[in-house]
Amino acid sequence: MNIFRLLGDLSHLLAIIILLLKIWNSRSCAGISGRSQFLFAIVFTARYLDLFFTFISLYNTVMKIVFLATSYGTLYLMYIKFKATYDSNHDTFRIEFLILPAIALALLINEEFTVIEILWTFSIYLESVAILPQLFMVSKTGEAESITSHYLFALGSYRALYILNWIYRWFLTEKLNAIAIVAGIVQTILYCDFFYLYLTKVLKGKKLQLPA
């Protein structure tokens, strides 16, 4: 464990908590893409199956349980409790175009052809594009509430910090996983446009307006 990875995990946790609090306090999931949240739940489910039979550390186990519980909790709030406030008209990204290629790629490019490894690889590929429905929805609605942009900033920062973690581990000549690194770079690049707008607009108190 290193400071970059710890900050990355905490940024990830912060993002999820910001989202849960936003939905819970405002009792509304307006502006939030249920499809992206659905993809994140798939990512965590496919990746954390080893939860039940490999123990890496207490931290690892606790965080996996928290991520699984909060992602399903978010789905519950969006699709059941506050379903009336879900903006399905603007949440229209075709997620089958993300899931199917991720499955195909995981079957073609992986470290080991075992069920667990293929599922892990699938979750890595899917996570790299899971935010697209949310970014698409923000561009369709043309704007995002500031709390939503804080959520996106924390979520985008998590994988950017993981890239610093991989650089740090490379200097320590620790074992690295090329699949996770390439996917993590793609994932972070998808946020660049948003990062620019967040840093130049939201932090100056302006509303986040994405060019439609």
- Kindly list the residues in this chain that would bind other proteins in the complex (CB under 8 A): 5, 9, 12, 47, 50, 54, 56, 60, 63-64, 67, 111-112, 117, 120, 162, 165, 175, 177, 180
Contact 166, 176 (CB under 8 A): yes
- Rank residues 82 and 120 by Cβ distance to other proteins and give the closer one: 120
- Rank residues 29 and 159 by Cβ distance to other proteins and give the closer one: 159
Six-digit token string for 15: 């993002």
Pairwise CA distance, residues 56 & 15, whole Å: 24
Pick from 138, 139, 133, 120: nearest CA to 183: 120
Contacts (Cβ under 8 Å, ≥6 apart) of 33? 91, 93, 133, 134, 136, 137
* Residue 130: CB minimum distance to other proteins, A: 15
* Residue 167: CB minimum distance to other proteins, A: 14
- Rank residues 111 and 193 by Cβ distance to other proteins and give the closer one: 111
- Rank residues 87 and 117 by Cβ distance to other proteins and give the closer one: 117
* Residue 5: CB minimum distance to other proteins, A: 7
Pairwise CA distance, residues 4 & 138, whole Å: 29
DSSP, collapsed to helix, strand or coil, labels residue 42 as helix
* Residue 186: CB minimum distance to other proteins, A: 17
- Rank residues 96 and 112 by Cβ distance to other proteins and give the closer one: 112
* Residue 33: CB minimum distance to other proteins, A: 22
Q: How many CA atoms does the CB half-sphere of 15 hold within 13 Å?
A: 21
**Using the 8-state DSSP alphabet, how is residue 167 labeled?**
H
- The partner residues of 208 in beta bridges, in order of sequence, read 144
